[in-house]
Amino acid sequence: MQLKMTFLFLSLKKTVFFFIEKPLSQWTDAENKRTKFDCIAKNIITSALNSDEFFRVSQCGSAKEMWDTLEVTHEGTNDVKSAKKHTLIQEYEKFRMLKGESIADVQKRFTHIVNHLMSLGKVFDKEELNIKILKCLDRS
């Protein structure tokens, strides 16, 4: 029996995949182990997905490729993440209490912005957040 084996070569600039047909009997222990772990990882990933997500990654050749596809789909590329972060920073800096808005609603909007920024790597001191929220409250 012959199986296709994927080799992965990493360079500083790009990743290259190519296939070489090699009989299963000639596989090394490391190659068998790598293939086994890749199959386990693919199984874990696909079992956690709904049908739409599954069809998006079902054609991927490796667990790494599946993961990268899902990451770009849900988080976006680095450029998209950077743009989101800059937009949220602007929202944070311009944050003010809206006329007629309750304090609970202000806190909810503020927490939403801060949580998104923290998920993108922005770090805040508690003191900074407290001062920001107090300054944005309406005095009436």
Whether residue 110 is found in the same domain as residue 64? no
What would the pLDDT profile of 82-102 be if each residue is shown by its tens digit? 888 899 999 999 999 998 899
Structure tokens at 132: 């920001």
For 42-61, give one letter per residue: b (16+ CB within 10 A) or e.
Answer: beebeeeeeeebeeebeebe
Confidence (pTM): 0.53
Q: What was the pLDDT predicted at 65?
A: 92
| Of residues 14, 9, 6, 16, the one with CA closest to residue 42 | 6
Question: 8 and 66 share a domain?
Answer: yes
100 torsion bin: left (phi>0), alpha (psi -120 to 50), beta (else):
left
Q: Same domain for 15 and 28?
A: yes
- pLDDT, tens digit, for every residue of 95-127? 999 988 998 999 999 999 999 999 888 899 999
AA identity, residue 99: K
Range of the domain at 19: 2-75
Domain count, the chain: 2
- List pLDDT tens digits, range 5-54: 444 444 444 444 555 677 778 888 888 888 889 889 999 999 998 988 89
Note whether 63 and 51 are same-domain residues.
yes
124, 110 Cβ separation under 8 angstroms: no
